[in-house]
Amino acid sequence: MKDFKIWRCILRGPICITTTLEDGIVTDKQVENYTDDDFERVEEQEKALATLTIALSPEFAQGFHEYTSAKALWEALIEVYEGNEDMKQSRQDMIRQKFNMFNYVLGETLENQLQRFITLTTEISSAGVMVTRLEINKKLLNSLPKSWDMNVSVIKKTKDLNRLTLAETMAIIKAFQSHGISSQSSSANEKEENLALATHLVNYYNAFVVGELSPQLSFADLDQIHPDDVEEMDITWQMAMAVFRAKQFSKKIGKNNWSVNSYKKMGFSKGKLRCYNCHDPGHFARECPKPDQRENSE
């Protein structure tokens, strides 16, 4: 609870209890002549000084014993810990850089990352650094782990980051986490879902081979797959299509040149080549031992 009387005493500074004599001269009032109001004002000043002094740790308080008023002690504390304008600007630049470099730390939980960000925004506010809601929300979302990429995209498209407070943004992130849409603990579920979608793709391939296609997979399903998984499935699909083409080609020519035989070498046989120079089989024109007939023909 805040004591505004103490804070006003600190800002107002020390008071002097005075009295006016019959000849109009203003002089300090003797303590024995103090009224109840005078004593209350003095006690407020002493209480304000004691409050600031108690707030300091013993090792720091040693350096501020010379200050006898709350206002003087407060101004000394500001000068020591906040510094002059150059020091304030330097501290603001340092905190701004810290904000720009904020990111996910490998191995930390989502709760720890959010707590670090709250601490950082508190430092920003205390230092007087001006940061918009858009900057704060974008920084937090962009710093989330890679497994959150899909959810971050959804949040950016469906929410107004200019209006959301930090508390509201964190509530949205925690809602995603609690529903298991994305978090480190739900990575196993993501893999199972992706495996199921990959199985659908394989079924599509099998249906394509036999000429039967059933609409079991929608584009909305594909949007839920991580880009790396989509690329992996695309490569798998191309490999499957290569196998399919090889089988069709084998049926067409009546033999399988891709069978796994330990004695068969991969590649082509030069015995099937015919030289463009001498027209003999077994070598390229650049390897032909006979004179170049093509130059003579020209």
Full residue range of the structural domain in which residue 194 is found: 186-253
The residue whose two tokens read 């109001």 is 37
Q: Is residue 262 part of a domain?
A: no
Q: What is the pLDDT of residues 82-127, one digit of tens each?
A: 666 777 788 888 889 999 999 988 888 999 999 999 999 998 988 8
Find out whether 205 and 234 touch, Cβ atoms under 8 Å: no
Find out whether 81 and 57 touch, Cβ atoms under 8 Å: no
How far apart are the C-alpha atoms of 170 and 187, rounded to whole Å? 20
Q: State whether 154 and 215 are in the same domain.
A: no
Q: Is residue 258 part of a domain?
A: no
Distances (CA, A) of 231 to 158, 184, 224, 235: 26, 22, 13, 6
Residue after which a domain boundary falls, among 81, 100, 122: 81
How many residues are given for the chain?
298
Q: Output the pLDDT for position 186.
A: 46
Q: State whether 173 and 200 are in the same domain.
A: no
Q: State whether 90 and 165 are in the same domain.
A: yes
**What is the signed CA dihedral for 143, 146, 149, 150, rounded to 10 degrees?**
-150
Q: Output the pLDDT for position 182.
A: 44
Q: State whether 107 and 163 are in the same domain.
A: yes
Other beta carbons within 10 angstroms of residue 163's beta carbon come to: 10
* Residue partners of 72: CB distance under 8 A and separation at least 6: 13, 14
User: What's the number of domains the chain is made of?
Assistant: 4
Q: State whether 54 and 140 are in the same domain.
A: no
Q: Is residue 131 part of a domain?
A: yes
Q: What is the pLDDT of residues 243-289, one digit of tens each?
A: 778 777 777 777 766 655 545 555 556 677 788 888 888 888 888 88
Q: Is residue 121 part of a domain?
A: yes
Q: State whether 90 and 33 are in the same domain.
A: no
* pLDDT, the chain, mean: 77
Q: Is residue 249 part of a domain?
A: yes
Residue 197 has pLDDT above 80, yes or no: no
Q: State whether 69 and 93 are in the same domain.
A: no
Q: State whether 36 and 63 are in the same domain.
A: yes
Please, what is the end-to-end C-alpha distance for the chain in angstroms? 105
How far apart are the C-alpha atoms of 118 and 139, rounded to whole Å? 12
Q: State whether 76 and 118 are in the same domain.
A: no
Residue after which a domain boundary falls, among 134, 165, 182: 182
Segment of 37-46, 84-93, 183-192 carrying the highest mean pLDDT: 37-46
Find out whether 281 and 271 touch, Cβ atoms under 8 Å: yes
Crossing angle of helices 70-81/36-55, nearest 10°? 20
How far apart are the C-alpha atoms of 81 and 31, rounded to whole Å? 37
Q: Is residue 261 part of a domain?
A: no
Find out whether 55 and 10 touch, Cβ atoms under 8 Å: no
Residue 140 has pLDDT above 90, yes or no: yes
Mean pLDDT in residue range 200-214:
55
Q: Is residue 114 part of a domain?
A: yes
For the chain, give the secondary structure using H, E and C: CCCHHHHHHHHHCCCCCEEECCCCCEEECCHHHCCHHHHHHHHHHHHHHHHHHHHCCHHHHHHHCCCCCHHHHHHHHHHHHCCCHHHHHHHHHHHHHHHHCCCCCCCCCHHHHHHHHHHHHHHHHHHCCCCCHHHHHHHHHHCCCHHHHHHHHHHHHHCCCCCCCHHHHHHHHHHHHHCCCCCHHHHHHHHHHHHHHHHHHHHHHHHHHHCCCCCCCCHHHHHCCCHHHHHHHHHHHHHHHHHHHHHHHHHHHCCCCCCCCCCCCCCCCHHHCECCCCCCECCCHHHCCCCCHHHHHC
Residue after which a domain boundary falls, among 155, 182, 209: 182
pLDDT > 90: percent of the chain: 18
Q: Output the pLDDT for position 187.
A: 53
Q: Is residue 260 part of a domain?
A: no
Entry pTM: 0.42
Crossing angle of helices 70-81/4-12, nearest 10°? 80
